[in-house]
Amino acid sequence: MATALWKEDAKEWHTLKSTDKKFFKEVSQKIGHCPSTLYALAKLLNGIGSSYINDGIIWISDIIEKNNDLEGKKLETNTIYYIENLIRIYIYKNRENIKKTISLKQKILIILDFLIEKGSVVGYMLREDIL
């Protein structure tokens, strides 16, 4: 079993650079169909990869949009929790931009609709909030 070299509540890690975004984007595109990829990205973005949140929201949305079968697949434990937390933080910080930018709002709605399909009350409340 792999162990983390950082504290569970760490929000950055010195070896993750802005140039690494390309790697995570590629991972989301190539193996986004795997539920473990969705989990790993959501967890990363909630922790040491939080500086990637703006791009990460797009990665998560694209994974969900391109892999409709994820709604029916069993997800890794805490995947929904990490996505809920991530989207809550993102909407809180970017509410006005989401309301003004149609393409961004559509990306957010893809994530929120996915959460709602998975039975998330948080997803429902956030969706009502931005509509």
pLDDT (tens digit per residue) in 52-83: 999 999 999 999 999 988 888 889 999 999 99
The predicted structure's pLDDT at residue 82? 97
Q: What is the pLDDT of residue 24?
A: 87
pTM recorded for the entire structure = 0.86
Determine the pLDDT at residue 78: 96
DSSP string, the chain: ----SS-TT----TT--GGGHHHHHHHHHHHTTSHHHHHHHHHHHHTTTGGGHHHHHHHHHHHHHH-GGGGTSPPPTTHHHHHHHHHHHHHHHHHHHHHH-HHHHHHHHHHHHHHHHTT-HHHHHHHHHH-
Measured CA angle at 61 (ends 57, 67), to 5 deg: 150
Chunked into runs of 10 residues, the chain (131 residues) has average pLDDT values of 52 60 90 94 92 95 93 90 97 94 96 95 93 84
In whole angstroms, give the CA distance from residue 29 to residue 62: 8
